[in-house]
Structure 1
Amino acid sequence: PHETRESNRPLTKSEEALVRKHPAESTRMIRQLGYDSKILLNYVSSHHEQFDGSGYPEGLKGDQIPLGARILNVANDFDALTRRGIKKEGLNYQSALKELQKRTRAGRYDPQCVNALIQLLDMQMSPPAQYSSF
């Protein structure tokens, strides 16, 4: 729930259990909408797995986690870090990227996915290239 996500306090055991059901519930909802792509459902069900195996729901590690889920994990956390909430200001992009790099060094993310996000944001933030005519 929104209140749980915006709270600054530690989660209760029941709230943590609810959060851990999120991938399965998301998969169920996507199926109800008529999407049955195994690839899509696999990405959604695995997007809280961590590169070091500490994630959920399966505790998958490294390349056991589908690439799309590894990308979603980084994107989801980047969004959470930069999103302004009721009780918090979102981080600016540079601070959020530093936090992602710190977490990557701790084993949480696929370094290639974080590097790809950094490159993508660098391209978007850079001034347009000047092209000369022939």
Structure 2
Amino acid sequence: MTPRRCPCGTGLTYDECCGRLHAGAPAPTAEALVRSRYSAFAVGDAGYLLTTWHPRTRPDDLELDEGTRWTGLEVLAVEGGGLLAGEGVVEFRASYRRDGEPGAQQERSRFTKVEGRWVYLDGVTTA
């Protein structure tokens, strides 16, 4: 049985890539957190999404749309967010199919570290 590829598009297996983060390993960079959060949407892991959301902006709960199938992630730009940084911005485009129709969400997201771990602060849809 061939291991499944990670939904985030790195070419690695899920276990080698975002699966480790979903299991509790910290994201090393803001871009890695974007990829792991996209993968969490793709595999339906709402708990991970809430855990990696800044406490100040996190919703009380999160219900994922089961009719949406995430089909691809493209990282468009990265500002800061490296290993030693405390803040970063990542712009990305996430493709999906909903009710058989293709769509995409493009967002410019802000990230920060809380207690040494990257978290999603907020984002602005750009397209």
TM-score by length of 2: 0.26
TM-score by length of 1: 0.25
Larger relative contact order, structure 1 or 2 (CA cutoff 8 Å, min sep 6):
2
Decide which structure has greater strand share: 2
Decide which structure has the larger Cα Rg and report it: 1
